[in-house]
Structure 1
Amino acid sequence: MKFRIFPEISLKPRISIILISLFFKIMAGAFSSIAWAANNQALGILGTIVWLFWFSLLFIAAIPSTDEFFSRHFSWLGKTAKVSVCTLIFIGILEIAFAISLGLGFFHSADGDSNNLVNYFERIGVYGDAAALEHQATNNFLEGENPYREANVITAATEFGVPSGKLTPLRIGQFAEDFPYPDMEKIEELYVNAQVTPDEIPLELESKFGYPAASFILPAPFIAAGINDLRIVFPLFFLPALGYAIWRIQPKMRFYFIAALLASLELWNSLSSGETGFLVFPLLLLVWLLYRRNLWLSAIFMGIAIATKQIAWFLLPFYLILILRERGLGRAASIGAIVSCIFLAFNLPYIITDPGLWLSSVVAPMTDALFPNGGGIIMFSYTGLIDAESSLPFTIMEVIVLIAALIWYFFNCRRFPETALILAVFPIFFSWRSGWTYFFYMDIIMLATIMIYEYRENWNL
């Protein structure tokens, strides 16, 4: 009897392309992250190029005619997809072993110091400042305090063990002339000194809680129940959503979707750090999966999503355009009203209490004097390939790309609805801070949608 790892099914080219894209996503993230940690220009440029290739693959996969074209000319796609998935799962096993080795101290030097790359990997499994501030905000909410007013990155980072390398410095004060990024030693010194008087927050560190109110209201019942770790709370949201997706996918193809999840190493790396995107990921997944099945329920999840994290704001106009073009102005207006009401239901108390504080907090990621970061076009500036120390050119590029994407989608959404998932986040690639965590789960949403709605009864056996 012949042993098989994968079910004996001929994968459609679009599914194969998405599975292959997982490999390039991991490579792009690795190149960009190592380039950032080691200040390596070549790896930074390579990471940016691979990210562009990843975006291109997903856009191609979102086009239905891709199946016909690629089935004629690229018969090797299915085997390549299976090899890519197996490779990533194997890398994941090695990463787990490496993480265990770090915990046992195998990679530390004799004097207890570590090199920059090891420091980078050591930071993967701990809270970042965003997760610490979100956890602090949830606690403040449960105590009846205003989470936006009580936000304090020093006390949050101290309580939840955030290393100085995962704080967010600002281009003001002693860091005003440090470009493209302050020395880690300076950030560490600032952090250590601030811990002596934690109520005096250094102006050089971002301390605002920068997310809408649902981001701390949704985890609150679980924190109140004694689950004192967001890395445990977040799976309580995304596992049911993924379970729903798996249930809806045809049984013969569930294996490939689960394999894609296991191969999405960036998902699990981010979860281990409490990446706040994990709270909005299941909401956006349900938004897109329910759009064709139950529009009203889809709208409810979209309302919760935009009340949770700003990345959902980028998808919202594409979502409304699709409804407008497929179902008419009246339905689009109704859905827009539902989404807006849900957003206000979460946020209105804080808007009324202190509108200036709420607004300055929620728009802080876009308006505060942040340093450049990410794997997009900004990498050319970060690595010194171009001399651009202002965020304005990147903001202009981001806005132009977003407007162009919206115009294109308006005229093409009925033929290519799933392109919204990639067009919504592609403008961020051109922004001043183009962190890959803003878009790393869009491929999983696209894969689930295509499997459920476009290949329900047409798999080749």
Structure 2
Amino acid sequence: MRALLRMAATAVAGAALYYAGLVNSIVILRPERPGAIAVVVAIAAAIVVLVAAVRGTGRGDALTPPAHVRLHRAVWLLASVMALVSLAWISDVPRQRSWDWTPYHNDAIALDDCAARLVLEGRDPYSSLDIFDCYARLGIGADRTTPLRLGEFASVAVYPTDDQLDAAWDLRAREGGNVEFVSRPSYPALSFLLIIPFVVLGWDTNRLYVLCLIAAMALVVLRTPIGLRPFMLTAVLGATSLAAFTVSGSADLLYVLPLAAAWLWRERRWSALAYGVAAATKQLAWFFAPFYLIAVVTTHGWREGLRRAATSAAVFLVANLPFILAHPRDWVEGVTTPLSDPMFPRGAGLIFLGTNGGLPLLPSNAYLALEGLCALACLVVAWRSRRTSPELGVVLALVPLFFAWRSLFSYFFLIPLFAAVAVARMPLGDLTPERAQAAGALTLFALPVRRLALVSRRRAA
């Protein structure tokens, strides 16, 4: 059944991204290890699978039988096994991990935490955050920073070694004049305003991010037809990259949750408010703006599209206005850090072949050109297929980052969730347990299927 195949494809792509992410981490830590080519190919293949999974309208797909039942069963068996892996990752959240002794897994989490504390003190983090004071209080060091190609690192070709990072860190902590490390909040204001309650209570914000992932999964399942819900739940859990790399430390779920809600219910006007929250949290949400507007304009017209754009812009402005008015230059420099600061090439996309895959490293402008061309191509495809594949845009939005100078793995591991969002919106029709069994579909939640189907029939009666 095509509906089940779409969900299974989401799980398979997420499983591939899970293993690609593990290899990516190993190669970055141990550059002498092979694997860069495998990572790039796996991510590209996962993107292709997810694009294929959300093509078409999906109308009535739940009634279309699969061509190969045994293969279908094998794919769902894989999804079920990988779902158990995800549950194992999620169950590990309360425990302290020997492989990472601190909850501040990266500078995004650390700087947001310090920024939230500065807000509680009545200070503007865009103008007053000091990374050395922040990291000293958190007990972390240079390995949790984003280095820049300036100062002590100006002559470094690919990326500073740990020794170089530590030496520059000690120098600037002692003498001041930091230019080597990103040292200010580099995201819109909601990235740290939303975590203030957790900071006040002294709770690990990583748990908030996991809760956001669980909530996003729940919204996807809720939007799915009742008979397909157990399979959708198995699929989003089977996409192991979602749970594994959220638990490992990712603040991206703060923008992903409202973005998922905005796309799932984009027929509602309040979806513009949800998208505004996402855009006011992290710049990655901005990549979805044209695709969201294309979808809205297609079904509701240009006037409604402009109204939604104005609503989202208003939410963004309200969230950031106090900081814009207080220190406009600092706010602009902070929010534009990913674009304006001279960062090192880094990532798991095409750039990985140049930094760790043995291929020549092209000039940064070459990657920028490829990224721009891909973005243009994705927009053209989304516009031309806006009626035949209305959900395609939510998967295409982040594809250009595969070609970027900075194509961090964190940009890609959540794409299976966006694909699940797209599939959940499709008019797939419903599925009976008998049809699912005949199709060879497997799920960890097979028992509730019959009960849910029975409830659905009673409601229909």
Report the TM-score, using the length of structure 1 for normalisation.
Answer: 0.84
Deviation at 1:288, TM superposition (A): 1.1
Aligned to 1:4: none
Which residue of the other structure, out of 152, 173, 180, is the alignment partner of 1:204?
A: 180
Identity of aligned residues (%): 25
**Do the aligned partners of 2:39 and 2:348 also contact (CA within 8 Å) in 1?**
yes
Q: Are residues 1:64 and 2:42 paired?
A: no
Instruction: Determine helix, strand or coil for the equivalent of 1:212.
Output: coil
**Do the aligned partners of 2:186 and 2:338 also contact (CA within 8 Å) in 1?**
yes
**Do the aligned partners of 1:373 and 1:435 also contact (CA within 8 Å) in 2?**
yes
Which residue of the other structure, out of 165, 168, 189, is the alignment partner of 1:187?
A: 165
Q: Are residues 1:258 and 2:233 paired?
A: yes
Write out per-residue CA displacement over residues 243-276 of structure 1, whole angstroms, 9 at most, x where no aligned residue.
Answer: 3433333444333333334444433343344422
Aligned to 1:82: 76
Aligned to 2:353: 380
Indicate how the Cα distance of structure 1 residues 227 and 95 shifts in structure 2: closer, same or farther if over 3 A, else same: closer
Indicate how the Cα distance of structure 1 residues 54 and 193 shifts in structure 2: closer, same or farther if over 3 A, else same: same
Deviation at 1:240, TM superposition (A): 3.9
Q: How does 1:403-442 map to 2 (within 5 A)?
A: 403-442=376-415
Q: Are residues 1:215 and 2:191 paired?
A: yes
Greater RCO (Cα-Cα under 8 Å, separation 6 or more): 2
Aligned to 1:149: 127
Stretches of structure 1 that go unaligned for 5 or more consecutive residues are 1-8, 105-120
Equivalenced residue count is: 432
Aligned to 1:174: 152
Stretches of structure 2 that go unaligned for 5 or more consecutive residues are 437-461
Q: Aligned partners of 1:391, 1:410: CA distance in 2, in Å?
A: 29
Aligned to 1:50: 42
Aligned to 1:15: 7
**Do the aligned partners of 2:273 and 2:315 also contact (CA within 8 Å) in 1?**
yes
Aligned to 2:443: none
Q: Are residues 1:268 and 2:243 paired?
A: yes
**Do the aligned partners of 2:190 and 2:319 also contact (CA within 8 Å) in 1?**
yes
Aligned to 1:336: 309
Deviation at 1:290, TM superposition (A): 1.0
Aligned to 2:27: 35
Deviation at 1:237, TM superposition (A): 4.1
Deviation at 1:169, TM superposition (A): 1.1
Q: Aligned partners of 2:6, 2:251: CA distance in 1, in Å?
A: 29
Deviation at 1:193, TM superposition (A): 4.7
Q: State the AA in 1 paired with 2:193.
A: I
Deviation at 1:398, TM superposition (A): 0.6
Q: Aligned partners of 1:450, 1:399: CA distance in 2, in Å?
A: 27
Q: State the AA in 2 paired with 1:347.
A: N
Instruction: Determine helix, strand or coil for the equivalent of 1:418.
Output: coil
**Do the aligned partners of 1:127 and 1:160 also contact (CA within 8 Å) in 2?**
no
Q: Are residues 1:282 and 2:282 paired?
A: no
Q: Are residues 1:140 and 2:118 paired?
A: yes
**Do the aligned partners of 1:215 and 1:309 also contact (CA within 8 Å) in 2?**
yes
- Give the aligned CA root-mean-square deviation in angstroms: 3.1
Q: State the AA in 2 paired with 1:216.
A: F
Q: Aligned partners of 1:125, 1:76: CA distance in 2, in Å?
A: 43
Q: Aligned partners of 1:278, 1:302: CA distance in 2, in Å?
A: 13
Q: State the AA in 2 paired with 1:135.
A: D
Deviation at 1:399, TM superposition (A): 0.9
Indicate how the Cα distance of structure 1 residues 101 and 139 shifts in structure 2: closer, same or farther if over 3 A, else same: closer
Instruction: Determine helix, strand or coil for the equivalent of 2:126.
Output: coil
Q: Aligned partners of 1:38, 1:263: CA distance in 2, in Å?
A: 28
Instruction: Determine helix, strand or coil for the equivalent of 1:291.
Output: coil
Aligned to 2:375: 402
Indicate how the Cα distance of structure 1 residues 173 and 282 shifts in structure 2: closer, same or farther if over 3 A, else same: same
Which residue of the other structure, out of 326, 333, 345, is the alignment partner of 1:353?
A: 326
Aligned to 1:6: none
